Amino acid sequence: MRFGYFDDERREYVITSPQTPLPWINYLGVEDFFTLVSNTAGGYSFYRDARLRRLTRYRYNNCPLDADGFHFYIKEGENVWNPGWQPVQAELDSYRCRHGLGYTVIEGAKNGLRASQEMFNPLGEHCLLIRLKVTNETALAKRFSIFPFIEFCLWDAVDDSTNFQRNYSTGEVEVTENAIYHKTEYRERRDHYAVFWADRKPDGFDTSREAFIGVYGSPAHPAAVFGTGCTGSTAHGWQPVAAQQFDLELAPGESTSLLFGLGYIENGHSAKWAAPGIINKEKAERMIAAWTDDSAFDAGLQALHVYWNSLLMKFRVSSGEEKLDRMVNIWNQYQCMVTFNMSRSASYFESGTGRGMGFRDSCQDLLGFVHMIPERARERILDIAATQFPDGSAYHQYQPLTKKGNLDIGSGFNDDPLWLIAAVDAYLRETGDWEILEEPVDFDNDPALAQPLVEHLRRSFSYTETHLGPHGLPLIGRADWNDCLNLNCFSEHPGESFQTSGPSEGPVAESVFIAGMFVKYGRAWAEILRHIEKANEARAAEQSVEAVEAAVLNAGWDGEWFRRAYDAFGHVVGGRECEEGQIFIEPQGMCVMAGIGKSTGEAEKALASVRERLDTKYGIVLLQPPYTRYHTELGEISSYPPGYKENAAIFCHNNPWIVCAETELGHGDRAFEVYTRTAPAFIEDISEIHRTEPYVYSQMIAGKDAPGFGEGKNSWLTGTAAWTFVSISQAILGIKPTLDGLQIDPCIPSSLQHFSITRRYRGAVYVIDVENPDAVQHGVREIFLDGSLFPGTVLPVQKEGKEVRVRVIMG
């Protein structure tokens, strides 16, 4: 069942029922000021850090779900309703939500009154803008009132939801003619405040929640709206809110627009006050003045469209397969940008208060956005690398506001260092910016320890090289990519962190997955070394890689598939002798991507085993059979009920690894089949089963061992976005940036006869037409570059601004 449809022309998903299986959200903002907004106008805003600078309150885990947000109450006579249905839930005569790139429009109508609520965060500004347009569609004049309502968060979202003994006394506001200022803690150490404004003077306002909602009222039934209107309350402590009232009259057919904004203002410490106790509002007034007419609003929206065009034009496909085109051209790349901005911090599943930026997560996210914003990828690389320790290991997470490593979690996730090589390698392939390797970058954020970036890569490599276990495979530490495979921790007490309890490090537990990474990214490192004329070092690196590759084929091979690991007692994890968890997806994907066993047959066998043992109709599960009881020696993975999360869910992130691996072996049909199983646009028809947004990937889909088989969770913030973009753009469609130029090497379903791609690469435009006359899956017979036969498949770097035509004949 569907709850909407794709409008590819406008690059929107149009939701046609407010009662989607879960709130379906969108992200507004691309730089510092962000808003999450659902299809019923739930959500919240924050500046940079969703924990420390949260502007509006949002209750996760609430009942009813998703009641906090950016709501407008419309009251006509006794009738009260919201254009987005929530929170009053009055039945609407019509409803529609259009989630577009960086904006959302919610439209509702009741009794001949139509309201549309347009929202976006303008580029270069720290605010959310909302335009509410109301139209009287009847033949009679209408009188009604409109009440916008938001609830302020007292900045630190964790403190806000825990420290009530203090917070019930600290809330403060100031009210001006058309704006409400939230200034809690501004009297002491903060020099920032929030402002909610309207483009005109309201007929009433409230800033105390008790007054507007009522002590025992609810957002579904605010006392002021259902009673006699706003009371003019001033919040002192308790819960400061911004509510206003506008009494309007519309002639038959008449429309009017009201403009609102929610802004974040930082004043320098010395410029805090206009008068004793009165905040300096100069910057806020400038912001308000800039956005109080329709043409400014329209221009802001237009600038946003231009911005998204400029990003999405870097890679465009036209394949004749509508669902494929919309994933590649719009939604997959859009999701890559959102994961770039958010990492794993704020979604409807990530509270914004927990994890900061993950080292491995951010490095992988980069694979999906580097082609769109190489300058920001550069900056991101330097930020991440600066959190690395001098021995090459890395903080697992860092805080977006401070960019410092997070000590609570610390280091010891032994895959982390190698992801830095993956990220820099992708950046170099995309940009050819070799100078980045010379940039001085701190270790452990200490400028005294700064070294050129290339030294960071060297230490990433050597960290793994020098931390091998008894079988010559890399030691796993606290965990590798699979955060939940905790082989050195042995946690026995509820509430303990599975990853950081116990000794956490050990000289025995080894990871076949990291071994695969070491082979793949170790080879990339050697190639980089050759390019900077360090041939001896490259050869030495390759020797280490070969030794680990041999160890994988020896101790890491189970006969039909790659093993997963060795635990702290030297027992196999992910082997046929295991009681549960006999085969895992990760080493099959990574080892085959690394080319291990490609010439000797193990790679083919491993992928056949995936198909035979891990495939389901909704995607490939992470392992089989699932763990049915808790294994202290394995950790968190066995804490999940069978079929959920890392315990045998369809963990979407590693499905594209299998796609890439299949293309390594030339299996285009199978690669595309795996791709389509989890690609959101291809499963739109089962939205009632999948439940999460049909336009973005979720971290996981419940596996076949779970009662909720097929149900998605943790939508939006997942490495799935980047990896599926890599798998479809590079592995399947075959447009591969290399250190020397753009390689064309498609591996497609044999039924695909023709497709074309426009790719902007290092300042030039490649217009590529691929023909597949013999219905093959792989293989390039001829390439014509601007009409002449071109030898090989790697197209040389072109002059800036040049446009070349490339004709590719497969066969």
248/489 with CB nearer ligand GLC: 489
Per-residue x/- track, 645-664, ligand GLC (CB under 6 A)? xx------------------
CB of 374 to ligand GLC, least distance (A): 24
CB of 635 to ligand GLC, least distance (A): 9
Site for ligand GLC in 728-757 (CB under 6 A): none
273: nearest Cα among 196, 186, 197:
186
- CA angle, corner 471, sides to 469 and 472, nearest 5? 65
Choose, by CB under 6 A, the member of 699, 730, 777, 798 that binds ligand GLC.
699
Residue 665, amino acid: L
358/710 with CB nearer ligand GLC: 358
CB of 619 to ligand GLC, least distance (A): 15
370: nearest Cα among 451, 315, 328:
315
Q: Is 416 in the site for ligand GLC (CB under 6 A)?
A: no
94/628 with CB nearer ligand GLC: 628
91/496 with CB nearer ligand GLC: 496
795: nearest Cα among 733, 804, 428:
804
463/513 with CB nearer ligand GLC: 513
Give the separation between CA 485 and CA 498, rounded to whole angstroms: 9
SS3 615: strand
SS3 155: strand
Choose, by CB under 6 A, the member of 174, 465, 483, 549 that binds ligand GLC.
483
CB of 651 to ligand GLC, least distance (A): 7
Do 307 and 296 touch, CB atoms closer than 8 A? no
> What six digits make up the tokens of 704?
């076949």
Do 373 and 333 touch, CB atoms closer than 8 A? no
Q: Is 98 in the site for ligand GLC (CB under 6 A)?
A: no
Do 55 and 194 touch, CB atoms closer than 8 A? yes
**Active-site residue (options: 191, 483, 567, 745):** 483
636/711 with CB nearer ligand GLC: 636
Give the separation between CA 644 and CA 705, rounded to whole angstroms: 8
Q: Is 705 in the site for ligand GLC (CB under 6 A)?
A: no
Give the separation between CA 11 and CA 34, rounded to whole angstroms: 20
Per-residue x/- track, 243-272, ligand GLC (CB under 6 A)? ------------------------------
Give the separation between CA 112 and CA 477, rounded to whole angstroms: 64
CB of 484 to ligand GLC, least distance (A): 5
DSSP state of 176: -
Choose, by CB under 6 A, the member of 235, 423, 484, 621 that binds ligand GLC.
484
CB of 341 to ligand GLC, least distance (A): 15
Q: Which residue is nearest to ligand GLC (CB)?
A: 483
CB of 148 to ligand GLC, least distance (A): 36
Choose, by CB under 6 A, the member of 35, 329, 482, 798 that binds ligand GLC.
482
473: nearest Cα among 378, 547, 385:
547
396/807 with CB nearer ligand GLC: 396
Phi (first) and psi of residue 652, to 5 degrees: -60, -30
Give the separation between CA 365 and CA 377, rounded to whole angstroms: 10
CB of 397 to ligand GLC, least distance (A): 8
Site for ligand GLC in 768-797 (CB under 6 A): none
CB of 344 to ligand GLC, least distance (A): 5
360/670 with CB nearer ligand GLC: 360
CB of 673 to ligand GLC, least distance (A): 24
Q: Which helix (H) or strand (E) holds 156?
A: none
- Alpha-carbon 524 to chain mean position: 26
Give the separation between CA 709 and CA 621, rounded to whole angstroms: 11
Cis-peptide into 64, omega within 30 deg: yes
Taking residue 188's Cβ as centre, other Cβ atoms within 10 Å add up to: 8
Do 73 and 147 touch, CB atoms closer than 8 A? yes
Cis-peptide into 737, omega within 30 deg: no
Site for ligand GLC in 498-537 (CB under 6 A): none
Q: Is 636 in the site for ligand GLC (CB under 6 A)?
A: yes
140/407 with CB nearer ligand GLC: 407
Site for ligand GLC in 139-198 (CB under 6 A): none
Helix axes 332-342, 359-369, angle to 10 degrees: 140
> What six digits make up the tokens of 702?
């419940």
Q: Is 481 in the site for ligand GLC (CB under 6 A)?
A: yes
68/646 with CB nearer ligand GLC: 646
Do 390 and 373 touch, CB atoms closer than 8 A? no
Give the separation between CA 411 and CA 388, rounded to whole angstroms: 9
CB of 646 to ligand GLC, least distance (A): 5
Looking at 5-13, 91-99, 300-308, 479-487, which segment touches ligand GLC (CB under 6 A)?
A: 479-487
CB of 485 to ligand GLC, least distance (A): 8
Looking at 1-9, 482-490, 737-745, 789-797, which segment touches ligand GLC (CB under 6 A)?
A: 482-490
Give the separation between CA 469 and CA 713, rounded to whole angstroms: 36
Site for ligand GLC in 325-364 (CB under 6 A): 344, 358, 360-361
Would you call 483 a catalytic residue per the annotation?
yes
Site for ligand GLC in 361-380 (CB under 6 A): 361
Looking at 48-56, 95-103, 306-314, 476-484, which segment touches ligand GLC (CB under 6 A)?
A: 476-484
379-to-283, 362, 436, 455, 779 alpha-carbon distances in Å? 28, 12, 10, 17, 37
Q: Are strands 192-198 and 113-120 parallel, antiparallel or unpaired?
A: unpaired
Question: How many residues contact ligand GLC, by CB under 6 A?
Answer: 13
57/344 with CB nearer ligand GLC: 344
Per DSSP (E only), the strands in 542-626 are 565-566, 572-573, 583-584, 615-616, 619-620, 623-624
Taking residue 79's Cβ as centre, other Cβ atoms within 10 Å add up to: 13
SS3 562: strand
509/752 with CB nearer ligand GLC: 509
Residue 611, amino acid: R
Give the separation between CA 589 and CA 794, rounded to whole angstroms: 25
685-to-332, 333, 695 alpha-carbon distances in Å? 18, 22, 12
Active-site amino acid positions: 483
Interface with ligand GLC (CB under 6 A): 344, 358, 360-361, 481-484, 636, 645-646, 699, 718
